[in-house]
Amino acid sequence: MNAIDAAELRRRTRDLLAAHPPADTEPADFLKARFDAGLAWVHFPAGLGGLDAPRSLQSVVDAELAASGAPDNDPRRIGIGLGMAAPTILGFGTDEQKRRFLRPLWVGDEVWCQLFSEPGAGSDLAALGTRAVREGGSGANGEGGDWIVNGQKVWTSSAHLARWAILIARTDPALPKHRGITYFICDMTAPGVDVRPLRQITGEAEFNEVFLTDVRIPDAHRLGAVGDGWKVARTTLMNERVSIGGARLPREGGMIGPVSRTWRERPELRTHQLHQRLLALWVEAEVARLTGERLRQQLAVGRPGPEGSGLKLSFARLNQEISGLEVELLGDEGLLYDDWTMRRPELVDFTGREAGYRYLRSKGNSIEGGTSEVLLNIVAERVLGLPAEPRDDKDVAWKDLAR
Amino acid sequence: MSTLDDAPDLLYSETEDDLRAAVRSLLTGRGDIPAALDRAESGAPYDTALWTSLAAGIGAAGLLVPEPLGGQGASHREAAVVLEELGRAVTPAPYLTSSVIATHTLLGCGTGDGGAVAKLLSALAEGRTVAVLAVPLSTGPDAPLPDTAPGAAIRAVADAAIADVLLVIGHDGLYAVETAAPGVTVRAQTPLDLTRPLSTVTVDAAALTAGTRLADAGTAEAAVRSGLLTGAGLLASEQLGLAEWCLEETVRHTRERHQFNRPVGSFQALKHRMAQLWLEVVSARAAARNAADALATDSSGVPLAVAVAQAYCGRVAVHAAEECVQLHGGIGMTWEHPAHLYLKRAKSAEIALGSTGSHRERLAVLTALPAPGRPTA
């Protein structure tokens, strides 16, 4: 058994850098070479961007590459692909799917989006009503035939840029809602996919509505077994929450940064009441940052804790309270807004715009990726082991549920 | 496994886990609540046999004392783990006062030459002697020190009732004075926290002079402030352990207690409160570990790490204890149920070694976020 250790990874990283010096290599070419060397995500299998090495050793590669000025893929731009589609394809995809999709995803050649939420299925995602019906095929139940998808999805970031989507659709309405769902990879350029901007509270359209009308998906683009879509989707959702709470921050690195700077530079705005609130929030922001650091250290030694879902809750509340305080601190300026022009930003930059934008955008933090109320239930039931909410939808066919 | 940069180590080491297991097993076997309540009401709250086992048997008292002086030569990280366990069990023990604050103060007094300081430290490390710093328990690391005039009453000195030695701040330095010496009075007060007894202490001029001078005035002030800063930083771990117990016990109770034909813990209004508390407890752990690690590595970030931990963990402990009482319903208000001991400890610990507000004021200076009308630091 030749286990790959830190020294071996360091050697391979240096070989990569020697063969493709970052200064003389196109960033995209470097990223492709890095993937092919198995240094993209070292815990992935060999040939799929990894080397079957322990996940904790990725930091060895990252440190070497960062020190050499090597280009990185932009994890914010391709976050859904990297953070959600990739682990799901790795966990449930066929060999052919893994070979087809992972490399362009990691390099950033192909942007991904997520077709999960629907107007009638948000927090209660498993209630979704988008239908996929099998057509043709050679088997008795149409096995092997294409799927025809009809329905409407919502809150889809990057849909207007995406080449591919992960999609869940209902394939058997006669089963209870968690069971008749199947997971697909949807070609966003296929006929019948209609992407429309969804203008939101900030004035811009960061998200989209996606209308699916007779969209044809080959059975080869199904991920996991027919009817197993909920199980597959849970892998995606778990990774979504980790990636939402997971960014590493320096001190004052989040929302507390701009308001602290304003406080230091504008003594005329200070009041005692705001001072008390600012200090209390500064402490909470610093403690949330340390909690994230502790979670990363736990992951690095292979002892992940359940703190991830907690961090998302903490940051959602803090972002809202801090940005609300910032608008108040600005007084007359807080009455103004920088720009209501309808835009379609490629990246969501939570802190780059002004206080009013931060205040409004942060309202989404407690809704997107699971509402705070639902996450508190999950913490209570899965982490603390408290009894589950009583429910009457578990054994009822989806078609018979109230809508 | 080292982290990429100079980030603090916020995890527990294997040694720390072993130490925790040893302390917890000792306290589980011998630190039972009804006995503690009986002792508290009898006016002699300490279980001296338990203290001997903890201090000398496990060697917890000497964790911060270097090996040449008879201690374990361990660090604040290990002492913090002991305090987490003492907080979990609201154990009446002079650990924070003697093994942390007094010990750290003495370490700042110059321990060379096998002199009086070194001898006293060795005695503390072995658990033979208990020493406490004669300042009110509320004294924060930057607060004015008490009136040092001989004969002045110093109120709310924690654990003085069990101390063999008082560390007394005189005009010209720090003195070690035996509590049994003539001219020393230790008068018990009735404390809010039954598990951390308080006394009014007076030391007259003759008793002070008859004591042993440990350091000159300048050294003494720095040593005392460093002892208080260390105490404040590690108190966060005691508050963490306390909050953890309150949450666990509340979850256990609400899973078992039925009303309206359901466990009360299945009601969303209660679940959300306990989930919120869990969030606060995991956050308090990061803050307390950060303070312990900063102290252990003697990093330049100690004052900030301590102020953050104290501004946060004190509130969390009180919140956890208050929720524990409320979510237990009527039983949480009874003398027999231990919830009140946790509430009393949490509320008095929130005031101990500087209030939440005073630690926030220190942060305002440390982070250059001054109050209105004050220039930016």
CB–CB of B372 and A388 under 8 A? no
Instruction: Give the C-alpha separation, B247 to A210, whole Å.
Output: 44
Q: Which of B8, B272, B289 sits opposite A380 (nearest CB)?
A: B272
Of the candidates A152, A153, A219, the one whose C-alpha atom is nearest the C-alpha of residue A183 is A219
Instruction: Name the phi and psi angles at A40, rounded to 5.
Output: -75, -55
Contacts of B255 in chain A (CB under 8 A): 385-387
Q: What is the mean pLDDT of residues B69-75?
A: 95
End-to-end CA distance of chain A: 56
Interior/surface letters A295-328, b for 16+ CB within 10 angstroms, e for the rest? bbbbbbeeeeeebbbbbbbbbbbbbbbbbbbbbb
Question: Average pLDDT of B357-371?
Answer: 97
Distance CA A88, CA A98 (A): 10
The mean per-residue pLDDT over the stretch A280-305 comes to 90
**Residue whose structure tokens are 């996929």:** A132
* Record: contact A283-B254, CB cut-off 8 A: no
Judged against a pLDDT cut of 50, whether residue A342 lies above it is answered with yes
Closest of A270, A284, A243 to residue A370, by C-alpha: A243
How confident is the model at residue B3, as a pLDDT? 38
Least confident segment among A227-236, A244-253, B197-206: A244-253
How far apart are alpha carbons A15 and A20 in whole angstroms? Answer: 9
- Looking at residue B2, what is its pLDDT? 35
Q: Any idea which residues of A carry the catalytic annotation?
A: 240
Neighbours of B95 (CB within 10 A): 27
Take residue A85 and report the two structure tokens written for it. 């589609």
Tell me chain A's radius of gyration from C-alpha atoms.
23
Q: Do A379 and B275 touch (CB under 8 A)?
A: yes
| Residue range B265-289, pLDDT digits in tens | 999 999 999 999 999 999 999 999 9
Residue B313: helix, strand or coil by DSSP? helix
Mean pLDDT of A76-102: 89
Q: How confident is the model at residue B81 (pLDDT cuts 50, 70, 90)?
A: very high
Instruction: Please name the residues in contact with A336: beta carbons below 8 A apart, sequence gap of 6 or more.
Output: A356
Average pLDDT over residues B360-368: 97
Chain A nearest-CA distance from B315, in A, is: 11
Rounded Cα distance between B229 and B306, Å, is: 7
User: DSSP letter string over B223-272?
Assistant: HHHHHHHHHHHHHHHHHHHHHHHHHHHHHHHHHH-EETTEEGGGSHHHHH
- Of B77, B95, B99, the closest CA to residue B292 belongs to B77
In sequence order, the 6+-apart residues with CB closer than 8 A to the CB of A24 are: none
Residues B4-26 have pLDDT tens digits of 457 899 999 999 999 999 999 99
Mean pLDDT of A146-174: 96
pLDDT of residue A4: 85
Q: Which residue in B282, B363, B372 is closest to A279 by CB distance?
A: B363
Q: Is the pLDDT of residue B165 over 80?
A: yes
Does the beta-carbon distance from A380 to B274 stay under 8 Å? Answer: yes
A331 dihedral zone (left: phi>0; alpha: psi -120 to 50; beta): left
In 3D space, the residue among A386, A390, A388, A366 whose CA is nearest the CA of residue A315 turns out to be A366
Which contacts of B224-227 are long-range, i.e. CB under 8 A and separated by 24 or more positions?
B224/B105, B224/B108, B224/B133, B224/B135, B224/B145, B224/B169, B224/B174, B225/B141, B225/B142, B226/B104, B226/B105, B226/B108, B227/B100, B227/B101, B227/B102, B227/B103, B227/B104, B227/B105, B227/B108, B227/B133
**Residue A106 predicted with pLDDT over 50:** yes
pLDDT band at B113 (very low <50, low <70, confident <90, very high): low
Give the mean pLDDT of A340-355: 84
Task: Answer whether residue B1 shows pLDDT above 80.
Answer: no
Give A27-58 pLDDT, tens digit per residue. 889 999 999 999 999 999 999 999 999 887 88
Average pLDDT (B300-316) is: 97
Proportion of chain B in helix, strand, coil states, percent, rounded to 5: 60, 10, 30
The Cα–Cα gap between A318 and A287 comes to 11
pLDDT at B332 > cutoff 60 = yes
Residue pointed to by tokens 């496990």: B58
| Number of residues that this document lists for chain A | 403
Q: Which of A222-231, A386-395, B37-46, B89-98 has the lowest mean pLDDT?
A: B37-46
The nearest alpha carbon in chain A to B275 belongs to A380
Region B199-214: mean pLDDT is 96
Residues of A in contact with B373 (CB under 8 A): 270
What pLDDT does B360 receive?
97
In this prediction the pTM is 0.90
Letter for the amino acid at B326?
Q
Average pLDDT, chain A: 91
Q: What is the mean pLDDT of residues A98-114?
A: 94
